[in-house]
Amino acid sequence: MFGSESHVHRVEPRTDTRCSRAYAWPIHPPKHEKFDLVARTNTDPKGIERAVDEYTVKPWGLYMARPTPGRAQFHYLESWLLPALGLRASIFHFNPGHERDQDFYLDIGRYIAGPDVWQAEDHYLDIVVRTGKSAELEDVDELLTAVKHGLLTAEVGEEAVRSALDTVQGLSRNGYDLHRWLATHGIDLSWRRA
């Protein structure tokens, strides 16, 4: 996809303050996370180990619910890692004054299940889902810059783009309803809504 002109699709960059035409700041390497089911911890991309309130393993993925101490924007995080789809679906419980117009936040990446520990590698692309309204793909510039600078291979970058496009198409075919779309894959998510 990245090496062949016949597969190039034009994507207009965002013009708001979160993204510029020329990606002007240093790109970070892919973020990695660890989900330790035995210790009931989640080691975030900065290496900080956080206590987890709940882990649930299902055939299609891993559910995690935990507080987010020290975060001004939100106080609680719920996530499902869905390896077969290359997705992490999250609900952020925002603090007053920091609410965002989103129902779900999807991270594109590689999610690897293990008997005691799951691993995650974020592949830059994110999708903001507004149930019944829209699915907005974000951070395409970050992915392209990461591939350009060798932080991800072209093959991994292509896999991320395909996963994101499949997800957006699936959501659009199902009225931008994450649960309805996931049901077509035999996935039934539940949330605690802390």
- Six token digits for residue 85: 């789809």
Domain range 5-183, its CATH number among 1.10.620.20, 2.40.380.10, 3.40.640.10, 1.10.3720.10:
2.40.380.10
Domain boundaries, the chain: 5-183
**Closest by CA position to 104, among listed 124, 90, 94, 93:** 90
Q: For residues 23 and 47, what is the distance between their CA atoms, to the nearest angstrom?
A: 26
pTM here is: 0.84
List per-residue pLDDT tens for the chain, 194 residues long. 333 332 222 233 333 334 334 444 578 899 999 999 999 999 999 999 999 999 999 999 999 999 988 777 878 899 999 999 999 999 988 777 767 779 999 999 999 999 999 999 999 999 999 999 999 999 999 999 999 999 999 999 999 999 999 999 999 999 999 999 999 999 999 998 74
Bridge-based pairing of strands 87-94 and 49-51 is unpaired
Contact 79/63 with Cβ under 8 angstroms?
A: yes
